[in-house]
Chain A
């Protein structure tokens, strides 16, 4: 597997029907994982964006419900990739070291965010700590969670691309946790979107 081959596989997937994608996507996600997401993103920076857009195109909620393993595979790759690319993004690093975030992190050490779809098994989580983002599949237990973003699968994926109209104010996007976190998490998700778009 090479970066060029991954790029081609992604291109091929973009042409697939939902039925074809059901077989191809889990395998491709595995292959990217074996190749190394950091390396793959280095060579194909918009790889995750293209996958997300394809999922939205084929009805993400239905797709993830029918191929539930995609949720864990995708979320693990996604957050591993974000974790690796974050230090390379000056903008996101500036946000992660901003005074307002640091003033909160001195109290909380970290901010744990769950992401949960209400119409499919898609779920994941990420943690914002000093100058660092980490995350993965599945939800953190309520006791460890500070903030949650939830709603329809398509809405969550669109938010990851920072293409959701009205952002956190979108009526279909739900949040819970102390409202103080929304103003802190939002710029981070915007920074993440820039990374996965190759910015």
Chain B
């Protein structure tokens, strides 16, 4: 039997085909990348967790005993109940990783309301939260997010700090079609990503200076009167203030700051402003920094200035499109769930980061430090390899091993994080459970039911069911979610259809029409405080943030700390790998074969000076942890990379190495980063890219 299903091994949610034989998935086809093709490799991997396990030795000793689900759930509920009674609901933290990201968010929502539990996160503060947040204050929507750019109809595509061939392969196919039809391409990245090689203009920027570039582009667009006057006058507020503000940021200034040619900056600004319609895709190259929110905002302002919003080929108003025309999107249903008000008020970081709080995300460094102080006592990692994926993982390791009262982890495999748990639960995989997917895949107007194709092996269980069962054992009123099916039906409640009915529709999907320029018909036009595009942010002004982005150098760098730059003369950035999603997939042979080792990209001239050859193992050290810790990578010489930049993968570990650590500190940048300040004032993210480092050839090869 062949059946269409959804690959959830990254955010793209591609429709793929599964071949099922003897109640097993034997092959995947129509998969745009290796992660889809290896779905059966994950499901039937010999190391897959199949039964609930209870720790019987010390934490991390690796001694486990198989237990029943009843015992596991009763123990978990008992421990969580004790913690809640003694320390309050805020003493429990639920952390959702990229694995099961799409149902993990649902698990968090269920637990947040039913247990209830205010301190949850899904890894977003080091991901796209700063951009989402600035989108909200600027547009009241998410036009620069994954589903924002309308590549298909675009005449000019800007990839800013994003590597679409790796991160969004399905959308890239659409973009390539537009490029083949003649669309212009601007790429801003210090690395020679595949799109850079196709670009009309590739700006090989110094990491951490993107805001300077955006402000200088705004300067050119305004001073050369290339902006969309009619759109700005009718739909924006704060243009005059922005015009005055950007006079401080002329292109010759930006050229010195960014390391780019002044002419290239001017040409990029002209190309974006005059080639209409144009769309911008902003990604993590601009995030993960103390200036992340304002950097994203400075890029958003370009979209506003040129009126490239909600027009075919521009950046689309995602929520507004659904809000009015399509109206109900299931993803919004999940995000719109919170616990009782008094419990929500106890979210860690609620006072320091009110907008994170409003978006129901707790302050992660604050939460981890609260764990260290004994204010958070219980932890559920929902397919979250926290030890590997989070910054400052040595500190987290110590906290998990020695400080927390109770840890339980659900996952597909034993990870360094699961090794420190008191109870490990075997999670069911996507094709083993009923799913409802609001797809980010282009075009983003489809809601798909992806029903269970095969039974989970062993005793693997849907984490949503686990959350509901724990709630019942905590004595919660679980109405209206008595079961996972109830949950699925609830998510569809405004669609006027049940999950089973949706499964009966052709393709098990609802396709909703898209409309453009929704703001012309809406009241208010934009979902911001003023109802218009806020070039000057009234919300930021009210809370004491800069209402217009003010350029700030990275905390450490050739300009901020020239003396330190002599000692640490390279700038570190991360890159993503097509064969993996964050820390996942290292144990899957077919994926590992494509990228067997953690490679550090380095310019050949820099490598030669350091006596490093292609394939040598090298050590990398950073100022904050110098002399204490370093990490090792295999050198890959990349001639076109920015000469001062080195780039490494994040979240690397070695499942084949002995537990409990499985090499989680060996080649993982998080082992030399810390949770210490400074932080982005709006989101609380610390500087975790555009960081100074030094590299030397490892003695042991």
A169 touches B338 (CB 8 A): no
Picked from A118, A143, A172, A176, the residue with its CB within 8 Å of the CB of B337 is: A176
Bound form: Cα–Cα A173–B340 in Å = 14
Mark out the residues of chain A between 146 and 180 whose CB falls within 8 Å of any chain B CB in the assembled complex.
148, 150-151, 165-167, 169-174, 176-180
> Of A116, A165, A177, A187, which is within 8 A of B340 by CB?
A116
Q: Which residues of the other chain, A, contact B560 by a CB distance below 8 angstroms?
A: none
Given contacts A183-B524, A187-B523, is CB(A176)–CB(B336) below 8 Å? yes
- 1/0 per residue B298-339: CB within 8 Å of A? 000000000000000000000100111001100011011110
> Given B333, B335, B357, B480, which contacts A143 in the complex, CB threshold below 8 Å?
B480
Q: Complex formed: what's the CA distance from A142 to B337 in Å?
A: 10
Stretch from A16-24, A68-76, A100-108, A130-138 contacting the other chain: A100-108
A118 to B336: give the CA distance in the assembly, Å. 17
Which of B42-50, B506-514, B537-545 forms contacts with chain A?
A: B537-545
Closest chain A residue to B359, Cβ basis: A174
Given A142-B479, A150-B341, A166-B542, the answer on whether A178 and B336 have CB atoms closer than 8 Å is: yes
B355 within 8 A of A: yes
What's the nearest-Cβ distance from chain B to residue A154, in Å? 13
Q: Does B201 contact A (CB under 8 A)?
A: no
Q: Return A180 CB to nearest CB of chain B, in Å.
A: 4
User: Count of B residues near A, CB < 8 Å?
Assistant: 38
| A residues near B323, Cβ cutoff 8 Å | 179-180, 183
Q: Would you call A117 an interface residue if the criterion is a C-beta within 8 Å of the partner chain's C-beta atoms? A: yes
Kindly list chain A residues whose C-beta atoms are within 8 Å of the C-beta of B538.
166, 169
Tell me which residues from 627 to 650 in chain B have a Cβ below 8 Å from any Cβ of chain A.
none
The residue in chain A whose Cβ has the minimal distance to the Cβ of B322 is: A180
B629 → chain A closest CB, angstroms? 38
Inter-chain contact A100/B336, CB cutoff 8 Å: no
Q: Is the CB of A169 within 8 A of B319?
A: no
Across the interface, name the chain B residue whose C-beta is closest to A98.
B523
* A104, A118, A169, A173: the one within 8 Å of B345 (CB): A118
Which residues of chain A come closer than 8 Å to B446, judged between CB atoms? none
> Quick one: which of B328, B341, B523 has the most chain A CB within 10 A?
B341
Given contacts A172-B354, A174-B358, A179-B323, contact A166 B332 (CB under 8 A): no
Query: Does A28 reach chain B (CB closer than 8 Å)?
Result: no
The answer to whether B524 and A141 touch across the interface, beta carbons within 8 angstroms, is no
B479 near A141 with CB under 8 A, answer yes
Residues of chain B contacted by A148 (CB below 8 angstroms): 338
Nearest neighbor of A156 in chain B, beta-carbon distance: B341
Tell me, in angstroms, the Cα distance from A9 to B542 when the chains sit together: 37
Q: Which of B335, B341, B479, B528 contacts A174 (CB 8 A)?
A: B341
Contact between A118 and B528, CB atoms less than 8 A apart: no
Asked if A119 and B345 sit within 8 Å, CB to CB, the answer is yes
Measured in the bound complex, the distance between the Cα atoms of B332 and A183 in whole Å is 14
Within the assembled complex, what's the spacing in Å between the Cα atoms of A198 and B344?
A: 35
Q: Which 5 pairs from chain A and chain B are nearest by CB?
A: A171-B354, A118-B341, A169-B529, A118-B345, A150-B341
By a CB distance below 8 angstroms, the chain A residues around B267 are none
20 chain-A/chain-B pairs, Cβ below 8 angstroms: A100-B522, A107-B494, A108-B494, A119-B342, A150-B338, A150-B344, A170-B542, A171-B358, A174-B357, A174-B358, A176-B338, A177-B336, A178-B332, A178-B494, A179-B319, A180-B322, A180-B324, A183-B523, A183-B527, A187-B523
What 1/0 flags go to A46-87 for Cβ under 8 Å of B? 000000000000000000000000000000000000000000
Decide yes or no whether B496 CB sits under 8 A from chain A.
yes
Q: Which residues of B contact A180 (CB under 8 A)?
A: 322-324, 327-328, 332
Is residue A182 within 8 Å, beta carbon to beta carbon, of the partner chain?
yes
Please, how many angstroms separate the alpha-carbon atoms of A104 and B494 in the complex? 10
Indicate if B102 sits at the interface (CB-CB under 8 A): no
Q: Does B113 contact A (CB under 8 A)?
A: yes
Question: How far does the alpha carbon of A90 sit from the alpha carbon of B291 in the complex, in Å?
Answer: 48
- Within B65-91, the residues touching A (CB, 8 Å) are none
User: Known interface pairs A171-B355, A179-B323, A179-B336. Does A107 touch B524 (Cβ–Cβ under 8 Å)?
Assistant: no
Assuming A179-B319, A180-B328, is B494 touching A166 (CB within 8 A)? Answer: no
Provide the residues of chain B in CB contact with A174, threshold 8 Å: 338, 341, 344, 357-358
Complex Cα distance A107/B324, Å?
13
B316–chain A nearest beta-carbon distance, Å: 16
CB distance from B350 to the nearest CB of A (A): 9
**Least CB separation from A119: chain B residue:** B345
B341 touches A151 (CB 8 A): yes
Contacting A at CB under 8 A, from B500-528, are 522-524, 527-528
**Which residues of chain B come closer than 8 Å to A171, judged between CB atoms?**
354-355, 357-358, 539, 542-543
Q: Which residues of A contact B328 (CB under 8 A)?
A: 178, 180
Report chain A residues within 8 Å CB of B345.
118-119
Determine if A166 and B529 form an interchain contact, defined as CB atoms under 8 angstroms apart.
yes
Contact present for B523 and A100 (CB under 8 Å): yes
Residues of A within 8 A of B336 (CB): 176-179
Decide: A165 and B479 in contact? CB cutoff 8 A: no
Chain A residues with Cβ under 8 A from B360's Cβ? 176
**In the complex, which of the residues A119, A142, A148 has the most CB atoms of chain B within 10 Å of its own CB atom?**
A142
CB-CB under 8 A from A143, the residues of chain B are 479-480
A167 touches B527 (CB 8 A): no
A176-B322 Cα distance, complex, nearest whole Å:
17
Cβ-defined contact, B327 with A104, below 8 A: yes
* Nearest CB of A to B463, in Å: 21
Given pairs A142-B480, A167-B529, A174-B358, 5 additional interface contacts (CB within 8 A): A100-B523, A169-B539, A176-B336, A179-B332, A187-B523
Q: For the complex, give the distance between the alpha carbons of A161 and B342 in Å.
A: 23
* Interface mask (B145-186 → A, CB under 8 Å = 1, otherwise 0): 000000000000000000000000000000000000000000
Contact B528 A169 (CB under 8 A): yes
Complex Cα–Cα for A178 and B326 (A): 13
CB <8 Å contact, A166 and B341: no
Q: How far is the CA of A187 from the CA of B337 in the complex (A)?
A: 23
Across-interface contacts of B539 in A (CB, < 8 A): 166, 169, 171
Contacts of A151 in B (CB 8 A): 341
**Minimum Cβ distance to chain B for residue A183 (Å):** 6
Cα distance, A178 to B338, chains bound together (Å): 11
A177 to B493, CA, bound (A): 12
Given known pairs A100-B324, A166-B542, A183-B524, the reply for A178 and B529 (CB within 8 Å) is no
